[in-house]
Structure 1
Amino acid sequence: MKTRIEYDSIGNMKVPVDAYYGIQTLRANNNFKITNKTIHPLFIVSLAQIKKAAAITNRDSYTLEVNIANAIIYACDEIIAGKFHNQFIVDPIQGGAGTSANMNANEVIANRAIEILGGVKGNYSIVHPNDHVNMAQSTNDVFPSAGKLTVLKMLPKAILELQRLYQATKLKAIEFDSVIKMGRTQLQDAVPIRLGQSFNAYASMIKRDIDRLIKVKDEMLTLNMGATAIGTSVNASTDYLNNIIKNLQIVTGVNVVQSEDLIDATQNLDGFVTISGTLKSCAVNLSKMANDLRLLSSGPKTGLGEINLPAKQNGSSIMPGKINPVIPEVVSQVAYNIIGNDFTITMAAEAGQLELNAFEPVLFYNLFESIETLQNATMTFIDNCISGITANKERCEELVNNSIGLVTALCPHIGYKKASELAKEALSTGRPIKEIITSKRILTPEQLKEVLNPFTMTEVDRTSDVKINKHAI
């Protein structure tokens, strides 16, 4: 393999002659073989957008030669379009507070700009990674700003899938509105509920998650670009400081703003913790729904069996015909991972010291994974599970009719004590509640039909100050 020699403050190294990255990237690649992955493609784009905006700002401030600035801008445009991403070789989890990722971008952009200007890669006298590409910047404002831009790129796709899930559960709420099932508290019979009401509750839950994510997304709009090393804007001109955000808005199409306190924005990462916490809340809700669906579909012959989940794959290598709820299972597993990621993100943000937090790399690695896996899990949840759920209406009715939970509706008519005695008798004898009431002539058949009408029991009278069942009025 042909190589070129590059130098830094530590010494020199042989770099592949065709590589657009340079010595600092290569050192990082050797030092940080952690995940066997590279930084997220959208993060690469975000870095290139920042470098482009910086080049425009420095050019217009007359601190960067026009031909060098334009070559940098052209190189950035190519990276934004998806080219040269294979030259970003550093591991996403890295020491140095993200310096390796920033220098990877600086070196790739510099070497491509050198080519554009007719030079040979590695001839940094033409375009220098630090002096030109990184002009008026520091890893400490570039890296967190790129992280926020990446989150802003990723969240809309996750939100879109959640909106699809909301619609899917609302459709099921309508479809199952006439299906009466037994409601359960603490896994014990409670009172009847319509299956459609259960799915409408899922929809309400998801709607809250969507609203939270839309609101919290604004946390990512405030950047510390112009802060440079610790927030004091050292090495940044006044023109650069006043115009970098405006140019970044143009480059990204996002209405980002500059933090009013650049020192605070450089050392504190609570905005990312807020985002992660919201993702965790959503993950908790999705897993709760997945657990419900597994319970409701359990059996199918020896469990609740009130709903059917779409059969997606064989469930066992030894038990023929067994079909497992694999989609709800994977949704819960994604949720567990997101919850774990949230803890890592929390600790990474807490571990910041004085003027800088050095642990953004692992924070971003976990945050990007949380957003992406939430999006993907929601997508498969909709397409491979929710949309294909069917109800076992007869099974639901059978369980309602055989449940002692119906006695709750009798309390306003015969009192709690008498209703409790009937429930106890039904449990000990196995006789249905309706049969016992009829045989004891506690209520007339007409009264019984009205009082124990499951549809009436699942409706709420909203005209009264006290919410009670219509049949109790």
Structure 2
Amino acid sequence: MNALGNMSFRIERDSMGERQIPAETYYGIQTLRAIENFPISGLKPLPTYVDACVLIKKATAIANGELGCITPEVAQAIVQAADEVLSGKLRDQFVVDVYQAGAGTSHHMNVNEVLANRALELLGDEKGNYKRVNPNDHVNYGQSTNDVIPTAIRIGGLLALEHTLYPALSGAIAALDTKAEEFQDIVRSGRTHLQDAVPVRLGENFRAWAQILSDHLTRLETASQDLMVLGLGGSAAGTGLNTHPQYCDRVAQILSQLLDQPLRPAPHLMAAMQSMAPFVNVSGALRNLAQDCVKISHDLRLMDSGPKTGLKEIQLPPVQPGSSIMPGKYNPVMAEMTSMVCFQVMGYDSAIALAAQAGQLELNVMMPLIAYNLIQSIEILGNTLAALTERCINGITANRDRCAYYAEGSLALVTALNPHIGYLNAAAVAKESLETGKSLRQIVLEQGLMSAEDLAKVLDLEQMSIMTKPQTAT
């Protein structure tokens, strides 16, 4: 702004002509064109995705500086600019809509322009005067959208997994295991087809959920191995055009150090930029996790249903009033939220699958959609599990009396009688109990099918609900 409050501008040029750019902005002319071309969703690039792109630019500047492709002075300025962005500065300068030019060229140039203009300032030059530091010639030296963006998706996915989903998933597993120990002595009625089934331990329900999530953690860790193979260095179409012979290996080494991950160059750079299979694989593992999270959240809601007319075997902690009109009502809102997020993750996975097969020849042009959906899926699922653990699982209590009442009254207890009175006699006992309201114990004793002593042993709920452990072969 000048003294009169009028906005000041600088002039930038590209292959299509000149444009006025607000003087205070760090993005440049190609970003401006993208803003004008794609007023679509209002969704801006995820911070983790920005981090991933900037980390690539930092690593490439270091490598190109070491290899003599750009001057040490320019390399250091780009690295310093990248470090500032990674520390949280200039975040409002990454402005291109998620739905943009195919392959992500618009976002890529947004990153190049911001880093170039900040590097110019650090060197004492004016923004937009790209002779000393150019977005294309220096920040992007030896690179192409073709190899930078698929690498950024890989790094963004790894960052999101390490910082968000893995810790949250591990925390949920630990919380469920803790509840399993707390509830291990509580017997409840199992239910299959939403009908009475044999007694089970409430603690084993929680332990089963912990095991399910633990298995998903293993699947995700396996799938994420694909993200560690980088196509960076392929440049245009995977040929490595305009790159130093040592660049590919060196930039992978630097990124490995920056991320503390065992990253390595892909055996075939063209393949690494064409195939979106690594992202489909990780997204599929996320969808798989989401499906079981929905199941667990629905189970929690069912077991908490009531308080007077439902199961109410457990109490989920009330975290907010549940109704604008019914006083005293509390809803299982954390479990409900979990299901909604998981449905969104499943939708993202479907879009990723469609985008992954939509590439042609040497490039997949749907990468911006894949980038957003994959990283967003990881982060919202991680945030959801963290919130569910903190505000729901940790505070769950058991209704011991209600669990015992249902377990004792379950018609499925008759299953334990099969070896002693036969299946048909047991079925007849169950039918009579349902018709008359008499207990199974009473009917068996009235009909003289078993002695009271033997019946007490057979219908011992504590013994019936002890899980049989698999025998490990030696």
Structure 1 position 403, deviation (Å): 1.9
Opposite residue 173 of structure 2, the aligned amino acid is Y
1:322 aligns with 2:326: no
The separation in 1 between residues aligned to 2:304 and 2:186, in whole angstroms, is 15
Q: Identify which of 335, 344, 350 aligns with 1:343.
A: 350
The separation in 1 between residues aligned to 2:154 and 2:351, in whole angstroms, is 18
Structure 1 position 463, deviation (Å): 8.7
Deviation readout 1:245-289 (Å, 9 max, x if unpaired): 123223333321000010100110100011111111111111101
The separation in 1 between residues aligned to 2:228 and 2:87, in whole angstroms, is 23
| CA contact 2:223–2:281 (8 Å) conserved in 1 | yes
| CA contact 1:92–1:362 (8 Å) conserved in 2 | yes
Give the secondary structure class of the aligned counterpart of 2:237.
Answer: coil
Opposite residue 138 of structure 2, the aligned amino acid is H
Q: Identify which of 213, 233, 238 aligns with 2:245.
A: 238
Q: Summarize the alignment of residues 130-141 of structure 1 with structure 2, pairs less than 5 Å apart.
A: 130-141=136-147
Which residue number corresponds to residue 4 of structure 2? none
1:271 aligns with 2:278: yes
| CA contact 1:287–1:332 (8 Å) conserved in 2 | yes
Opposite residue 104 of structure 2, the aligned amino acid is G
Structure 1 position 66, deviation (Å): 2.3
Which residue number corresponds to residue 41 of structure 2? 35
Which residue number corresponds to residue 469 of structure 1? none
The separation in 1 between residues aligned to 2:51 and 2:471, in whole angstroms, is 58
Which residue number corresponds to residue 198 of structure 1? 205
Give the secondary structure class of the aligned counterpart of 1:321.
Answer: coil
The separation in 1 between residues aligned to 2:467 and 2:74, in whole angstroms, is 71
1:179 aligns with 2:186: yes
Opposite residue 167 of structure 2, the aligned amino acid is L
1:442 aligns with 2:449: yes
Q: Identify which of 287, 311, 315 aligns with 2:318.
A: 311
The separation in 2 between residues aligned to 1:198 and 1:240, in whole angstroms, is 53
Q: CA RMSD in A?
A: 1.5
Opposite residue 140 of structure 1, the aligned amino acid is N
| CA contact 1:401–1:432 (8 Å) conserved in 2 | no
Structure 2 residues not aligned, in runs of 5+: 1-6
Deviation readout 1:331-354 (Å, 9 max, x if unpaired): 111110111111011111111111
Q: Pick closer, same or farther for the CA change 1:174–1:237 going to 2, 3 Å.
A: same
Q: Summarize the alignment of residues 43-442 of structure 1 with structure 2, pairs less than 5 Å apart.
A: 43-156=49-162, 157-442=164-449
The separation in 2 between residues aligned to 1:464 and 1:458, in whole angstroms, is 18
Q: Pick closer, same or farther for the CA change 1:32–1:406 going to 2, 3 Å.
A: same
Q: Pick closer, same or farther for the CA change 1:274–1:447 going to 2, 3 Å.
A: same
Structure 1 position 373, deviation (Å): 0.9
The separation in 2 between residues aligned to 1:117 and 1:382, in whole angstroms, is 48
Structure 1 position 92, deviation (Å): 2.2
Give the secondary structure class of the aligned counterpart of 2:377.
Answer: helix
Structure 1 position 290, deviation (Å): 0.7
Q: Pick closer, same or farther for the CA change 1:447–1:161 going to 2, 3 Å.
A: same
| CA contact 1:309–1:388 (8 Å) conserved in 2 | yes
Opposite residue 360 of structure 2, the aligned amino acid is Q
Structure 1 position 424, deviation (Å): 0.7
The separation in 1 between residues aligned to 2:347 and 2:291, in whole angstroms, is 12
| CA contact 2:201–2:466 (8 Å) conserved in 1 | no
Which residue number corresponds to residue 20 of structure 1? 26
The separation in 1 between residues aligned to 2:300 and 2:464, in whole angstroms, is 23
The separation in 2 between residues aligned to 1:464 and 1:84, in whole angstroms, is 59
Structure 1 position 426, deviation (Å): 0.7
The separation in 2 between residues aligned to 1:160 and 1:330, in whole angstroms, is 19
Q: Pick closer, same or farther for the CA change 1:242–1:399 going to 2, 3 Å.
A: closer
Q: Which moved more, 1:151-160 or 1:72-81?
A: 72-81
Opposite residue 14 of structure 1, the aligned amino acid is Q
The separation in 2 between residues aligned to 1:170 and 1:72, in whole angstroms, is 48
Opposite residue 97 of structure 2, the aligned amino acid is D
Structure 1 position 314, deviation (Å): 1.4
Give the secondary structure class of the aligned counterpart of 2:200.
Answer: strand
Structure 1 position 460, deviation (Å): 4.5
Structure 1 position 53, deviation (Å): 1.6
Structure 1 position 31, deviation (Å): 1.3
The separation in 2 between residues aligned to 1:194 and 1:74, in whole angstroms, is 58
Q: Tell me the matched-pair count.
A: 465
The separation in 2 between residues aligned to 1:45 and 1:451, in whole angstroms, is 62
The separation in 1 between residues aligned to 2:426 and 2:15, in whole angstroms, is 85
Structure 1 position 323, deviation (Å): 1.3
Opposite residue 322 of structure 1, the aligned amino acid is K
| CA contact 1:94–1:100 (8 Å) conserved in 2 | yes
Structure 1 position 364, deviation (Å): 1.2
Q: Pick closer, same or farther for the CA change 1:462–1:164 going to 2, 3 Å.
A: closer
The separation in 2 between residues aligned to 1:203 and 1:359, in whole angstroms, is 36
| CA contact 1:169–1:200 (8 Å) conserved in 2 | yes
- Write out the 4+ residue segments of structure 1 that deviate beyond 4 Å after TM superposition: 460-465
| CA contact 1:114–1:121 (8 Å) conserved in 2 | yes
The separation in 2 between residues aligned to 1:249 and 1:395, in whole angstroms, is 55
Give the secondary structure class of the aligned counterpart of 1:230.
Answer: helix
The separation in 1 between residues aligned to 2:470 and 2:393, in whole angstroms, is 34
Deviation readout 1:117-150 (Å, 9 max, x if unpaired): 2211111112111111111000111111111111
Opposite residue 95 of structure 2, the aligned amino acid is I
Q: Pick closer, same or farther for the CA change 1:196–1:242 going to 2, 3 Å.
A: closer
Give the secondary structure class of the aligned counterpart of 2:246.
Answer: helix
Give the secondary structure class of the aligned counterpart of 1:97.
Answer: helix
Q: Which moved more, 1:204-213 or 1:406-415?
A: 204-213
Give the secondary structure class of the aligned counterpart of 2:166.
Answer: helix
Q: Please, what TM-score do these two structures have when normalized by structure 2?
A: 0.95
Which residue number corresponds to residue 3 of structure 2? none
Structure 1 residues not aligned, in runs of 5+: 466-473
The separation in 2 between residues aligned to 1:395 and 1:234, in whole angstroms, is 71
Q: Which moved more, 1:84-93 or 1:258-267?
A: 84-93
Structure 1 position 239, deviation (Å): 2.8
Structure 1 position 37, deviation (Å): 2.5
Q: Pick closer, same or farther for the CA change 1:403–1:17 going to 2, 3 Å.
A: same
| CA contact 1:37–1:91 (8 Å) conserved in 2 | yes
The separation in 1 between residues aligned to 2:293 and 2:123, in whole angstroms, is 53
The separation in 1 between residues aligned to 2:70 and 2:250, in whole angstroms, is 15
